[in-house]
Amino acid sequence: MDIDLSEEQEMLRKIARDFLADKCPGTLVRGMMEDERGYPPELWREIADLGWLGLVFPSDYGGEDFNFLELAILLEEMGRVSFPGPFFSTVVLGGLPILHMGTDKQKKEFLPKLCKGDLLATLALTEADASFDPSAVTLKAIPDNDSFILSGSKLFVPDAHIADLLICVARTSPAGEPDQGITVFLVNGESPSLERNLLATVDGSKQCEVIFKEARVSKNAVLGEADAGWEAIERILALAAVAKCAEMLGGAQRVLDMAIQYSKERQQFGRFIGTFQAIQHHCANMATDVDGMRLTTYQAAWMLSEGLPCKKEVSIAKAWASDAFKRVTFLGLRVHGGVGFMEDHDASIFYRKARTDEFSFGDADFHRNIVSQELQIT
Amino acid sequence: MEFKYTKEEEEFRQEVRQFLQSESELIEKVKQEEISGAGWGPYTWEFMRKAGVKGYLTPSWPQKYGGLGASHMERYIVSEELAYCLGRLAAVGVGMAGPVILHSGTEEQKEEFLPRIARGEIEFSLGYTEPEAGSDLASLEIRAVRDGDYYIINGQKVYNTASHYSQYHWLAARTDPAAKKHRGISMFIVDLKSPGITIRPLTGLGKFRTNEVFYDDVKVPADRLVGEENRGWEYLIAALAFERTWYAGENIYELETLLDYIRNTKRNGKPIADDPTVRQDVAQLAIDIEVGRLFGLRIACIIEKGDIPTYESSMTKLFGSETAYNLAAEWMKIIAPYGQLNMGSKHAIDDGRPGRVLYNRATRSLITAGTSEIQRNIIAMQLGLPRG
């Protein structure tokens, strides 16, 4: 039993922390919230050169052969600065489905480019219901000779507006159970049959509506098994949920660190505010939440890396993180008082992010339902 | 990073489980004694002796003192299994006095007391709290004055649970009133049958028995001072760093009991378990219990590595006890007005156990072993916030 990282893993963390602290100050992150593309190309090039885009992909496809746990470590550091750029969407939502579901030909076609920084990708799954239940997949994929015609729309698709590749989860047959009859397609982001609308978000994250206007895709664009794509997508959702927990953890730890620092610096009534019990208790509660995120996230990430069944542990991690990140950022902002409420304060970046991340890949209620199923309450 | 036990640790865990399963009848009787609030009775003593013979009470002590020379992880494993079967055993000899004697006592003291503690033959009552020294323990006033081969002790302790069934008092007393308060405290082993000691019962909620203990010119042999005079506070704090934790086994067991109840009890024609609100609440409890379990596991890993936990200890006790409270509160919410029925009442559910035992015990645990408020202060300080 060992809950510590290895020396190499600590090294990865340190390199990432130092690089990101230098390259992603709050001013850049806030600037990118207003920027339509959402990231500086030079920064993207640099992380490609560091091997981060290819971190978890096999070296056969241009990757670095690290495992999912190690990706979680990197994501935690990216979350700590609220990294501006389509890393999560490209690597987790684009790359992992191709890695887990693709044929060798498909992997060869997309992964090397992705690892080099030349391909942006994302997953188009949720629709107007904003649900991660298979019954919410209604976008139609109708077979037509050697192709499929995709019609319908997707909502809250991260970074779709700049994605070269959209991995679209569609319904090929409506009959039967909701998790049957689902097929996953690789769709060219530049296709003229797609209308991609960037939504204005509170936290500056790039979320899109994507309308598929009878978009034609070749049958070779099917990713994984036709009509039976949901099982693999469920697995991707588990990976995405835990990857998101890692990012949230980084942000939460950052907010705790800021709150502790501020408590030691800010004086009122002739003393440091950290000497007031209310502030002390807020910090203690925040630390408990952050440490809970840390242990549950890394337990789930480790189990996923080891290929162990962990449906309950994944949902425990995301349910906890959904609630805890909100609590931590809320208290963190309040410890800072008025200055924490200002748009140009770093604390408010995470305060807004927590409200978005709460719902990514299932909110606390959704995951508590899964936990109650795993407990076999009935 | 490995979130699983080694093969040997898993085998040890199964061995401990088998022992506990083989004693399940006795354990039921031990639980009845705990529920009565009266303290350790003959069945608890019998269990302590049986567990002691196996070395399970003090597994990480050296074999010459009755332990198994086991690793800290193995000690954690035993503690979790015991917590699952028995809830709170809270043995002071095993958990508080013994470790200090082991680390700071003379060889004679170790030989006289450690094997008997390890074998479950003796128990200590924690002699810390006083009427004017609760959370601010270092303000304790009971006075021990050296006089030849003895110390003469005068003063009073309160909420010294277990004094009425323990053989010894693990006493913190003031030996130097002129020094700063943390630097004038010494630790003593006192025979509770000593002349001059009066034990008076106090009753907490749920008929919980605790005691006032009065010292009237009590003569304690000087060789019952443990460690150096006036260094008692150091020993006490060092012991706490290793002992302050929370074993999730207790909460895991109680959750299973709650799940059993809601599966098998109907309301409005349907099992309570079908109620979506209840399902959400219970799932959250399961999540909180798992977080608490990981907190406790973290402490075990820290100590196993040879490090000393700091804020992790307070965080674990704080969170584990508050989870126990939330679990008890959920029980009370579910059984609703039945919760007002006391032991012995017709229609009481499980003889009033959810209210009388679980809820009261959980409330008490937010106060004992360091209140939740104090734990939060400690966590903040250990994270670097300035002292007031």
Written as tens digits, the pLDDT of chain B (388 aa) is 999 999 999 999 999 999 999 999 999 999 999 888 888 999 999 999 999 999 999 999 999 999 999 999 999 999 999 999 998 777 899 999 999 999 999 999 999 999 999 999 999 999 999 999 999 999 999 999 999 999 999 999 999 999 999 999 999 999 999 999 999 999 999 999 999 999 999 999 988 999 999 999 999 999 999 999 999 999 999 888 888 999 999 999 999 999 999 999 999 999 999 999 999 999 999 999 999 999 999 999 999 999 999 999 999 999 999 999 999 999 999 998 898 898 889 999 988 888 888 999 999 999 999 999 999 999 999 999 998 7
| A288 interfaces chain B, CB cutoff of 8 Å | yes
> What is the pLDDT averaged over residues A256-272?
97
pLDDT at B37: 83
CA B10 to chain centre: 25
Whether A1 contacts chain B with CB within 8 A: yes
The answer as to whether B238 is a domain residue is no
CATH at residue B270: 1.20.140.10
Is B47 within a domain?
Answer: yes
Which pLDDT score, from 0 to 100, does residue B61 have? 97
Mutant choice from B3, B73, B311 vs A, greatest count of A C-beta within 10 A: B3
Q: Are residues B64 and B134 part of one domain? A: no
Distance CA A40, CA A28 (A): 9
Q: Tokens 């909701």 map to which residue?
A: A178
Segment A227-237 mean pLDDT: 97
**pLDDT digit string (tens) for A32-45?**
999 999 999 999 99
Nearest to B386 among A69, A274, A291 (CB): A274
Q: Domain check: are B208 and B326 in the same one?
A: no
Q: Are B197 and B207 in contact (CB under 8 A)?
A: no
Q: Give domain status of residue B73, yes or no.
A: yes
Q: What distance, in Å, lies between the first and last C-alpha atoms of chain B?
A: 38
Say whether both B252 and B355 belong to one domain.
Answer: yes
Q: Tokens for A37, please give them.
A: 């593309």
Residues B250 and B340 in one domain: yes
Chain B neighbors of A372, CB-CB under 8 A: 279-280, 282-283, 286
Number of domains in chain B: 3
AA identity, residue B4: K
Give the whole-angstrom CA distance, residue A311 versus residue B206: 40
Contact A256, A333 (CB under 8 A): no
Q: Three-state SS for B134?
A: coil
Strand partners, B213: B157, B199
Find tokens 């709150």 and name the residue: A259
Q: CA of B179, closest CA in chain A: separation in Å? A: 26
Examine the domain organization and report whether B298 and B275 are in the same domain.
Answer: yes
Alpha-carbon span A187 to A164, nearest angstrom: 9
CB A16 within 8 A of CB A87: no
Distances (CA, A) of A194 to A42, A147, A152, B34, B220: 28, 16, 10, 69, 89
Question: Can you tell me the distance from the alpha carbon of A126 to that of A129, in angstroms, rounded to the nearest whole number?
Answer: 7
- Choice among A172-176, A343-347, B141-145, B247-251 with the minimum mean pLDDT: A172-176
What are the percentages of helix, strand and coil residues in chain B, rounded to 5? Answer: 55, 15, 30
Q: Count of CB atoms within 10 A of residue A188's CB?
A: 15
Q: What angle do CA B205, B211, B216 make, to 5 degrees?
A: 160
* Three-class SS state of A227: coil
- Residue A161: is its pLDDT beyond 80? yes
Q: Which residues of B touch A279 (CB under 8 A)?
A: 380, 385
- B243, B290, B304, B373: the catalytic one is B243
Q: Looking at residue B206, what is its pLDDT?
A: 87
- The Cα–Cα gap between A203 and A222 comes to 34
- B230, B264, B291 - which closes a domain: B230
| DSSP code string of A162-226 | G-SEEEEEEES--SS-TTSSEEEEEEETT-TTEEEEEEP-SS---EEEEEEEEEEEEGGGEESST
Give me the domain span that covers residue B79.
Answer: 7-89
CA distance A264 to chain B (A): 6
Backbone phi and psi for residue B159, each to the nearest 5 degrees, phi listed first:
55, 35
Distance CA B387, CA A183 (A): 60
CA atoms within 13 A on the CB side of B163: 31
* B190 and B263 part of one domain: no
Cα nearest neighbour of A367 on chain B: B283
Based on the domain organization, do B31 and B66 belong to the same domain?
yes
In this predicted structure, what is the pLDDT of residue B352? 87
Strand partners, A91: none
Report chain A's mean pLDDT, rounded to a whole number.
97
Which residue in B261, B262, B383, B387 has the most chain A C-beta atoms within 10 A of its own C-beta, making it the best mutation to test that interface?
B383
B276 and B332 inside one domain: yes
Residue that the structure tokens 């991690």 belong to: A317
Burial letters for B262-280: b for 16+ Cβ neighbours within 10 Å, e otherwise? beeeeeeeeebbbbeebbb
Q: pLDDT by residue (tens digit) across A61-91?
A: 999 999 999 999 999 999 999 999 999 999 9
CB atoms < 10 A from the CB of A49, how many?
11
The answer to whether residue B388 is domain-embedded is: no
Phi, psi of A142 (to 5 degrees): -100, 125
Domains along the sequence of chain A with CATH: 7-119 (1.10.540.10), 123-228 (2.40.110.10), 231-374 (1.20.140.10)
B109 in any annotated domain:
no
pLDDT mean over A98-117:
98
Q: What is the CATH number of the domain that holds B175?
A: 2.40.110.10
Does some domain include residue B2?
Answer: no
Residue that is last in its domain, among B230, B262, B283 = B230
Does B358 lie in the same domain as B249?
yes
> Residue A130: helix, strand or coil by DSSP?
coil
- Show which of B177, B206, B230 is a domain's final residue: B230
Phi, psi (5° rounding) for residue A291? -65, -35
Question: What pLDDT digit, counting tens, does each position of A126-139 carry?
Answer: 999 999 999 999 99
Cα–Cα distance list, B147 to B115, B151, B152, B184 (Å)? 30, 6, 7, 17
For A179, other C-beta atoms within 10 Å of its C-beta total 16
Task: Write the ipTM.
Answer: 0.95
B271/A378 Cβ within 8 A: yes
Clarify whether residues B219 and B252 are in a common domain.
no
Instruction: List, as one string, the DSSP characters of A286-297.
Output: HHHHHHHHHHHH
How many angstroms separate the CA atoms of A349 and A355, rounded?
11
Cβ contact (<8 Å) for A372 and B287? no
Q: Tell me, yes or no, whether B48 and B169 share the same domain.
A: no
Q: Is B243 among the residues known to form the active site?
A: yes
Distance CA(B366)–CA(B360), nearest Å, equals: 10
Question: Using one digit for the tens of pLDDT, what is the confidence trace for A188-223?
Answer: 999 999 999 999 999 999 999 999 999 999 999 999
Distance (Å) from the C-alpha of residue B4 to the closest C-alpha of chain A? 5
Same domain flag for B260 and B330: yes
Whether the pTM exceeds 0.90: the reply is yes
Helices A26-34 and A346-357 pack at an angle, to 10 degrees, of 50
Task: Please give, rounded to a whole number of angstroms, the shortest distance from the CA of B370 to a CA of chain A.
Answer: 15
Q: Between the CA atoms of B54, B59, B64 and B65, what dihedral angle is there, to the nearest 10 degrees?
A: -100
Tell me the mean pLDDT in the region A40-64: 98
Percent share of chain A, pLDDT over 90: 99
CB contact under 8 A, B1 and A375: no
User: What pLDDT, on the 0 to 100 scale, is given for residue B217?
Assistant: 98
Q: What is the pLDDT of residue B242?
A: 81
Name which of A162, A158, A205 is nearest A34 in CA terms: A205
| Beta-bridge mates of residue A209 | A197
Beta carbons of B315 and A291 less than 8 Å apart: yes
A287: contact with B, CB 8 A cutoff: yes
Longest dimension (CA), chain A: 79
Chain A hits for B377, CB-CB cut-off 8 Å, are: 277, 280-281, 284
Phi, psi of A105 (to 5 degrees): -65, -45
Q: Are A293 and A322 in contact (CB under 8 A)?
A: no
Token pair 């006790």 is found at B317
